[in-house]
């Protein structure tokens, strides 16, 4: 498998090939995701909730994001590694470029910015600096307070029209793909058909060119699973049973045995 590039993702859309994207935040997980042939790894700021225990993504810092990007990059994956720029780290074009460059130095192949029409100057500046950008429209976790909670987007004509305007402008600005989060499926279909770059859905129905899931959700490790998540393996149960078995073995003197001793 050759290294995935932004151009390859565009070509996959042209060939009507679906794109699978997963998050990963550490070396062993990234290694397994890459070995499974997943073409894109997103080091998402979702790590704030599923790894660091924050209530939302807003407290996540650049230092925390870079720490996890470095861990994933040490795998030297064939997957395209995308770093999620955290809240308030791209408020101006200059700040966006400076922080995007830090992501690249940490090992990311590209960065993701949330927003559409409102972040075009930042998007253009980062791309002009030679750094590929993944867009993100619909439900924006970094704007959850302004949106009044985690609500499905695209329910009104005005909202749907703004989403269409956002993805079109992002494509014109040069992003290589756009994440579409928690958008009405029929609206997502129109967005996907309107642009030549891939749409990557999460809670946006089946009409996107690809899908992304938070790996802790799809492995059943998150205590509250979103409706859009499909659990492919319940690792929570396996981990809990393994920990309980280990505790019992230690307490009853069954571990370690001679073969685990020197």
Contacts of range 50-59, beta carbons closer than 8 Å, 24 or more positions apart: 50/25, 50/214, 50/216, 50/217, 50/221, 50/222, 51/25, 51/216, 56/141, 56/144, 57/86, 57/87, 57/141, 57/142, 57/144, 58/87, 58/142, 58/144, 58/145, 59/87
Residue 259: CB atoms within 10 A of its CB come to 5
Closest listed residue to residue 60, CA positions, set 72, 71, 44 = 44
Closest listed residue to residue 107, CA positions, set 70, 67, 79, 64 = 70
Closest listed residue to residue 210, CA positions, set 159, 248, 173, 176 = 176
236 in Cβ contact with 66 (< 8 Å): no
Residue 206: CB atoms within 10 A of its CB come to 10
181 in active site: yes
The catalytic position among 94, 114, 161, 181 is 181
Catalytic residue IDs: 181
């Amino acid at each position: 498998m050759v290294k995935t590039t932004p151009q390859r993702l565009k070509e996959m859309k042209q060939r009507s090939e679906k794109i699978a994207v997963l998050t990963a935040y550490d070396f062993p997980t990234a290694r397994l995701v890459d070995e499974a042939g997943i073409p894109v790894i997103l080091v998402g700021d979702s790590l704030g909730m599923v790894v660091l225990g924050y209530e939302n993504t807003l407290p996540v810092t650049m230092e925390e994001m870079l720490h996890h990007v470095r861990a994933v990059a040490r795998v030297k994956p064939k997957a395209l590694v995308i770093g999620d720029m955290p809240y308030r780290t791209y408020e101006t074009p200059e700040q966006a470029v400076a922080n995007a460059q830090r992501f690249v130095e940490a090992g990311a192949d590209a960065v993701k910015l949330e927003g559409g029409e409102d972040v075009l100057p930042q998007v253009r500046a980062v791309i002009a600096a030679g750094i590929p950008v993944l867009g993100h429209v619909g439900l924006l976790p970094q704007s959850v307070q302004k949106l009044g909670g985690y609500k499905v987007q695209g329910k009104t004509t005005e909202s749907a029209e703004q989403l269409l305007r956002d993805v079109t402008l992002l494509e014109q600005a040069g992003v290589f793909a756009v994440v579409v989060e928690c958008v009405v499926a029929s609206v997502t279909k129109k967005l996907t058909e309107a642009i030549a770059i891939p749409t990557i859905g999460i809670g946006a129905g089946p009409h996107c060119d690809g899908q992304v899931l938070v790996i802790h959700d799809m492995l059943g490790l998150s205590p509250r699973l979103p409706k859009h998540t499909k659990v492919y393996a319940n690792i929570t149960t396996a981990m809990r049973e393994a920990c309980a078995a280990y505790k019992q073995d230690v307490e009853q003197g069954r571990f370690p045995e001679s073969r685990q001793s020197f």
